[in-house]
């Protein structure tokens, strides 16, 4: 047996390209981050050094101001009075940060120092009232601190070499950040002193420098980031960056694969469809075998797929039952059918409609209350409702009590697909069963030599003895009809009479097949009047002075011509004088009737800030007629759509074709216009012959991928 071809896979080369791109981004990001961190560390170091040096210079500046006050009054016509020499000498001997003080006077060529007059020092212009650092060359480079002392006088200090030395350990030395090199600059930008961790003061290969100027003194500090140290740090961090990039690329690839598999799974699509409320009630008529007139209908579930149209139940019911989604789907369909079938049921009181209950619904503690709220005189009365259960639900002992309780309050129960399960025949006498539905497998045995035919006769005889009504399923031929009618089977449903159809189509079909005793029907005028009032109220709500219906914005998304559910409840409370709970119930009736819908089809009507809009009945789109040349499109599909392998993002899709290629092929083969080819392809999707690779997009004449179903 040939293994099934894998239709979906990850694209290795694109995943590798993604990993390479992320590694490149990680490398560039690492360089940028390291650059930013080193620049920030250098700026922090420079600020700390400036703070330390400002403290030292503040002490020197205080001494200079005091000395300027002492000697300023003593300066006279003599260039260097003796008392000034003594004061300068005493200050020079007492200072710890300054080796020698000078007074540079107005004479220009002579300075006054501790030893007496001396040649004037060559000083650069200094700002008034500010201590400024300078340098002069003697035996080595000496640091001078100059402060104007009033007039043309200046106080000059020869600093001790250790006065502005930065301690080896401090906040200005950030490990691995600066390379250990800090430079002291004069006010004019010239370098004055260099502190280096490795003891070198010569030029270095500097990558960047953070510079911080003093706000009080004429000096600045520059902190260097060494190029070699920077790249050494980066090489140490590079393996961790690349490992993180590879992990991220692997996580992205795993996420893409998980999303692709999830989108391809039916469970995900069913969850999405239930969230979008895409399940609609259809009806298959049940007719009386003796007269051929309609006696009721079975309400069935159909998935109204936005792209594929009507999806048959055989494609999703089993998965829905396995995952538990069937309960929510059944509740939605029952609610919509109860409201939409109400006018027809009131017009024909002899009709009944059967609904399938799931096992979880039957075992629910509030099943009786739920059914009473769902089926009532306002929708379908319980006497016109038949609840269908399968045999596997009947044999469950926990269901016996629920069935007895439902029977006591007037609910009728039928066993669906009888004969295919494992129930005991004794249960038919013990449980309140009003109908037995003969499985289609036994009906198909009519007219053929089959071992199932005696079983069919036995079921008919047993039901006659127990006085239980029979409904035959799957009647497709006249021979089956005649056989069942001759043996007293009361009702039947099947393709011979009618296929399942939407509710509007069922109403049209019923007009041509009047129910039993149609002439004896007495129209009920009370409830239809209430429904007419409901429709009149809806028209008032939509007219001027009613609801605020307009375009709205929510989460950066626009919604056209919608209203707020809470405002609708407020309007009904104000205009109709009803309670808020009753107003909410009226809104839910409007949703069930198809007059309004949530803007995203995700919520029922509630007294909350939810947007609703007027809705066209969902079944209208499902009734669109097929194109005239659909037969040609089907032949074209069976002739072989050109399939190939395509790459989209990180995924490889096999045995599929793009929408534009399918259209090109149909145009070339059948010589039709491109618009006609697009219509054919869209109709093929609605017929289930062509699907999107994830079954969640309509047909488009572009690069979107599709494959034959």
Q: Which residues are catalytic?
A: 473
Query: Residue 446: exposed, middle, or buried by beta-carbon count in 10 A (0-12, 13-18, 19+)?
Result: buried
Torsion sign across C-alpha atoms 578, 582, 587, 590: negative
Q: Given phi > 0 = left and psi -120 to 50 = alpha, else beta, which region is 159?
A: beta
Backbone angles phi, psi at 150, to 5 degrees: 105, 135
The full length of the chain comes to 709
Torsion sign across C-alpha atoms 534, 536, 537, 539: positive
Do 676 and 669 form a contact (C-beta atoms < 8 A)? no
From residue 618, how far is each of 193, 273, 611 by CA, in Å? 85, 14, 18
Query: Residue 634: exposed, middle, or buried by beta-carbon count in 10 A (0-12, 13-18, 19+)?
Result: middle
Q: Which two tokens stand for residue 77?
A: 């016509």
Query: Residue 151: exposed, middle, or buried by beta-carbon count in 10 A (0-12, 13-18, 19+)?
Result: exposed
**CA contacts within 13 A on the Cβ side of 526:** 3
Q: Which two tokens stand for residue 98?
A: 């300054």
Helix/strand/coil for 684: helix
The DSSP secondary-structure symbol of 618 reads: T
Query: Residue 153: exposed, middle, or buried by beta-carbon count in 10 A (0-12, 13-18, 19+)?
Result: middle
The DSSP secondary-structure symbol of 215 reads: S
54: nearest Cα among 151, 135, 130, 109: 130
Distance CA 448, CA 438 (A): 17
Written as one string, the DSSP assignment of 613-649 is EE---THHHHTPPPPTTHHHHHHHHHTT---EEEEET
Do 111 and 120 form a contact (C-beta atoms < 8 A)? yes
Torsion sign across C-alpha atoms 185, 186, 190, 193: negative
From residue 78, how far is each of 82, 514, 645 by CA, in Å? 9, 138, 104
Helix, strand, coil shares, percent, the chain, to 5: 45, 25, 30
Do 143 and 135 form a contact (C-beta atoms < 8 A)? yes
Q: Given phi > 0 = left and psi -120 to 50 = alpha, else beta, which region is 278?
A: alpha
Q: Which secondary-structure segment (H or E) carries 106?
A: none
Distance CA 29, CA 250 (A): 19
From residue 353, how far is each of 294, 435, 438 by CA, in Å? 11, 13, 17
Distance CA 487, CA 453 (A): 13
Do 446 and 496 form a contact (C-beta atoms < 8 A)? no
Distance CA 680, CA 634 (A): 9
According to DSSP H, which parts of 109-186 are helical? Answer: none
Q: Which secondary-structure segment (H or E) carries 134?
A: strand 132-137
367-374 helix and 397-408 helix, angle to the nearest 10 degrees: 40
């Amino acid at each position: 047996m040939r293994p099934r071809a894998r239709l979906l896979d990850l694209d290795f080369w694109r995943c590798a390209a993604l990993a390479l791109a992320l590694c490149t981004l990680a490398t560039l990001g690492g360089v940028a981050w390291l650059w930013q961190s080193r620049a920030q560390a250098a700026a922090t170091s420079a600020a700390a050094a400036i703070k330390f040096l400002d403290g030292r210079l503040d002490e020197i500046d205080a001494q200079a101001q005091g000395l300027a006050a002492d000697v300023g009054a003593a300066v006279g016509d003599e260039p260097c009075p003796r008392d000034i020499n003594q004061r300068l000498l005493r200050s020079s001997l007492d200072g710890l940060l300054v080796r020698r003080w000078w007074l540079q006077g107005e004479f220009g060529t002579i300075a006054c120092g501790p030893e007496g007059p001396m040649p004037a020092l060559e000083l650069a212009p200094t700002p008034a009232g500010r201590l400024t650092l300078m340098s002069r060359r003697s035996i080595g480079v000496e640091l001078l601190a100059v402060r104007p002392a009033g007039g043309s006088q200046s106080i000059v200090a020869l600093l001790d070499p250790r006065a502005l030395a930065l301690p080896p350990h401090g906040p200005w030395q950030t490990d691995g950040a600066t390379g250990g090199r800090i430079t002291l600059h004069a006010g004019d930008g010239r370098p004055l002193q260099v502190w280096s961790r490795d003891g070198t003061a010569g030029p270095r290969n500097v990558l960047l420098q953070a510079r911080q100027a003093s706000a009080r003194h004429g000096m600045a500090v520059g902190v260097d980031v060494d190029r070699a140290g920077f790249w050494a740090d980066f090489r140490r961090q590079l393996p961790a960056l690349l490992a993180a990039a590879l992990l991220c690329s692997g996580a992205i690839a795993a996420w893409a694969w998980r999303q692709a598999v999830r989108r391809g799974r039916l469970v995900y699509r069913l969850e999405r469809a239930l969230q979008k409320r895409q399940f609609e009630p259809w009806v298959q008529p049940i007719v009386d075998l003796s007269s051929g007139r309609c006696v009721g209908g079975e309400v069935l579930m159909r998935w109204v797929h936005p792209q594929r149209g009507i999806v048959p139940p055989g494609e999703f019911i089993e998965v829905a039952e396995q995952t538990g989604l069937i309960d929510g789907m059944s509740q939605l369909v029952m609610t919509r059918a109860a409201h939409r079938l109400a006018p027809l049921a009131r017009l024909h009181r002899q009709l009944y409609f059967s609904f399938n209950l799931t096992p979880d619904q039957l075992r629910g503690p509030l099943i009786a209350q739920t059914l009473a709220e769902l089926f009532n005189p306002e929708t379908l009365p319980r006497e016109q409702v038949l609840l269908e259960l399968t045999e596997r639900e009947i044999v469950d002992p926990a269901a016996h009590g629920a069935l007895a309780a439902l029977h006591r309050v007037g609910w009728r129960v039928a066993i669906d697909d009888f004969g295919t399960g494992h129930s005991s025949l004794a249960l038919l006498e013990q449980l309140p069963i009003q109908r037995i539905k003969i499985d289609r497998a036994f009906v198909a045995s009519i007219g053929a030599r089959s071992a199932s035919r005696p079983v069919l006769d036995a079921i008919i005889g047993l039901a006659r003895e127990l006085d239980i009504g029979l409904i035959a399923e799957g009647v497709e031929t006249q021979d089956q009809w005649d056989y069942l009618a001759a043996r007293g089977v009361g009702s039947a449903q099947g393709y011979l009479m009618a296929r399942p159809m939407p509710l509007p189509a069922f109403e049209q079909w019923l007009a041509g097949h009047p129910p039993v005793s149609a002439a004896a029907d007495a129209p009920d005028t009370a409830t239809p009047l209430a429904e007419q009032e409901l429709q009149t109220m809806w028209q008032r709500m939509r007219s001027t002075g009613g609801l605020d219906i307009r375009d709205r914005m929510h989460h950066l998304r626009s919604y056209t011509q919608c209203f707020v559910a809470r405002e609708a409840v407020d309007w009904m409370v104000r205009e109709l004088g009803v309670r808020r709970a009753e107003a909410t119930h009226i809104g839910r009736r409007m949703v069930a009737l198809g007059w309004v819908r949530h803007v995203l089809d995700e919520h029922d009507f509630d007294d909350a800030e939810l947007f609703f809009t007027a809705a066209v009945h969902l079944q209208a789109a499902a009734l669109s007629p097929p194109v005239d040349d659909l037969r040609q499109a089907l032949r074209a599909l069976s002739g072989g759509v050109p399939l190939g392998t395509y790459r989209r993002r990180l995924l490889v899709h096999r045995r599929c074709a793009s929408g534009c290629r399918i259209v090109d092929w149909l145009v070339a083969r059948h010589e039709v216009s491109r618009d006609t080819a697009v219509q054919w392809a869209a109709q093929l999707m609605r017929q289930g012959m062509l699907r999107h690779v994830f079954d969640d997009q309509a047909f488009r004449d572009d690069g979107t991928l599709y494959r034959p179903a």
